[in-house]
Amino acid sequence: MHIGLRIFFGFFLIVGLAAFLTLRVFVQEVKPGVRQAMEDTLVDTANVLAVLATDDFKSGHLSDGSFANHLARLHEQPVEASVWGMHKGAVGYRIYITDDRGIVRFDSSGAAVGQDYSRWNDVYLTLQGKYGARSTPSDPNDDSSTIMYVAAPIRDGERIIGVLTVAKPNQTVAPFIARSQRTILMYGLLLIGGAAVIGLVCTLWLVYGLRKLQRYTRAVAAGERAEMPLRGASELAELGRAVETMRVRLEDKQYVEHYIHTLTHEMKSPLAAIGGAAELLQEDMPTADRQRFLGNIRSQAQRLDLLIRKLLALAEVEQRQRLEKREPVRLAQEIEHILASLEPRARQRGVSLHWQPPAQGQSFDVSGDVFLLRQAIVNLIENALDFAPSGTDVDVVLEPGPHQDQITLRIEDRGPGIPEYALSRLFERFYSLPRPGGGERSTGLGLCLVREVALLHHGSATVTNREGGGASAVMVLPISA
């Protein structure tokens, strides 16, 4: 199962279970809580009425005394009340009084006068001086027909001479219980729904961060230039920074090992040539041969110097994950300056540089590092000059790119072109092709530098064969906003 689903279901299961248990407790506690409150009210009522009925009970005028008359008028008078939105239209009490033997002497409903209630808990316990109460269904087959009975003693001094019981159907509080349960359930469902939404949002946030970190690690594993996508002080961001630190340290170690290996490999040939020439110079030889060997030593030393300088420049670019500082670069003006500086070299080789600037009014400004961009463009033009035969042209064109927010720098020569076997290896480090006319190979680092500079500027660099002969180097860069 996907980690996002695991997190979400785990969160929802915990919250849902907690909400379910909480709701269950609340719902189960509503009914007994309401009934306990009703019982407390009945206790007070029974004790008040017992005091009021004492005089009529002792005088033997329970059925026709003032107590009975008042209760009769109470049932005749209408009741209009709204209790928390619930309408109440009648008094729901039933009151009966028994003597000290448990025989009913008065019943407000008139149904039980003369009956023996001495075994009912409300009467039995009260006559013993205890708290007497019971809850009994009026219909044995209907659990919802229970009636609560609460009794209070009628005293003559300290002696209990009777019992007054107040009865009220539990059904009268059923609407309040049902409404409370509905309210609790409604808010409980809202709670669970809110928890689900919060859990989903948190899960999506966590999964989104994990996926960004996953894409980053995959890009790093593939050798791509990638920037740590997570920021802030969250645990995911801390994990991302730890991964980035580990990557940098591993890359640094591998980078140094790789460069030491490649540098020593590339330096073997020039050093061998210098060493061989130096040994021969120790012998007596004609002046012309001595000058030739000295020239060979100088050229190989220059090759080593160029190799080291280009390798250091490439290493600096490759180690960058992003440009720390960007500035506006007027690319057309920079290219004009570069062409002016390379014009003497082009004339020496008998090659003409043809510059095709952008149309008037078109903006070809980019945002980036002007020094790196100059290095990349110089490498591309120098490559074209090296392969261009004498008497041919090198075209330098700045034009709109394949997308609206891009520009294209295209440099084309009319040389021998690129062999099919070399097309896929041009950007490999230290890979170079022989120059026309037996010229010395390059260091094989120039195109690597061009590609790294283009990637740092969120662009691309390609080299292909040109229709009609020759090669075409293309660098695509985004236009600055």
Max intra-chain CA distance, the chain: 161
Closest CA to 455 of 224, 229, 244, 255: 224
**Confidence tier at 130 by pLDDT (50, 70, 90):** very high
Q: And the tokens for 391?
A: 């008497």
Q: What are phi and psi of 75, to 5 degrees?
A: -75, -20
**Confidence tier at 441 by pLDDT (50, 70, 90):** low
End-to-end C-alpha distance for the chain, whole angstroms: 43
Of 97 and 228, more confident: 97
Of 104 and 303, more confident: 104
Tell me the residue length of the chain.
481
Average pLDDT, integer, range 431-435: 73
How far is C-alpha 44 from the geometric centre of its chain's CA atoms? Answer: 60
Mean pLDDT of the chain: 78
Query: Which positions ≥6 away from 233 have C-beta within 8 Å?
Result: none
HEC sequence for 29-87: HHHHHHHHHHHHHHHHHHHHHHHHHHHHHHHCCCCCCHHHHHHHHHHHCCCCEEECCEE
Strand 133-137 and strand 406-412: the pairing is unpaired
Q: Give me the amino acid identity at 387.
A: F
Q: And the tokens for 249?
A: 């340290």
For residue 165, what pLDDT is reported? 95
Give 109's DSSP letter. Answer: T
pLDDT > 60? residue 34: yes
Greatest mean pLDDT among 131-135, 227-231, 429-433 lies in 131-135
pLDDT > 60? residue 388: yes
* Across 132-146, 148-162, 419-433, least confident range: 419-433
**Coil vs helix vs strand at 294:** helix
pLDDT > 70? residue 224: no
Average pLDDT, integer, range 28-44: 81
**Confidence tier at 163 by pLDDT (50, 70, 90):** very high
For residue 303, what pLDDT is reported? 61
**Confidence tier at 210 by pLDDT (50, 70, 90):** confident
Q: And the tokens for 387?
A: 């392969």
Average pLDDT, integer, range 141-154: 88
pLDDT digit string, tens, across residues 359-387: 776 667 888 888 788 888 888 888 888 88
For residue 52, what pLDDT is reported? 92
Which domains occur in the chain, in start order? 3-178 (3.30.450.20), 250-318 (1.10.287.130), 327-478 (3.30.565.10)
CA dihedral 299, 300, 304, 307 (to 10 degrees): 70
Of 39 and 151, more confident: 151
Provide long-range contacts, Cβ within 8 A and 24+ apart, for 72-76: 75/108
Give the C-alpha distances (Å, rounded to integers) separating 117 from 110, 142, 150, 160, 329.
14, 22, 13, 16, 107
Alpha-carbon gap, residue 12 to 17, rounded angstroms: 8
pLDDT > 90? residue 127: yes
Contact assessment for residue 27 and residue 185, using Cβ atoms and an 8 Å cutoff: yes
Average pLDDT, integer, range 56-83: 80
Q: Where do runs of H (alpha helix) occur along 148-229?
A: 174-221
pLDDT > 80? residue 227: no
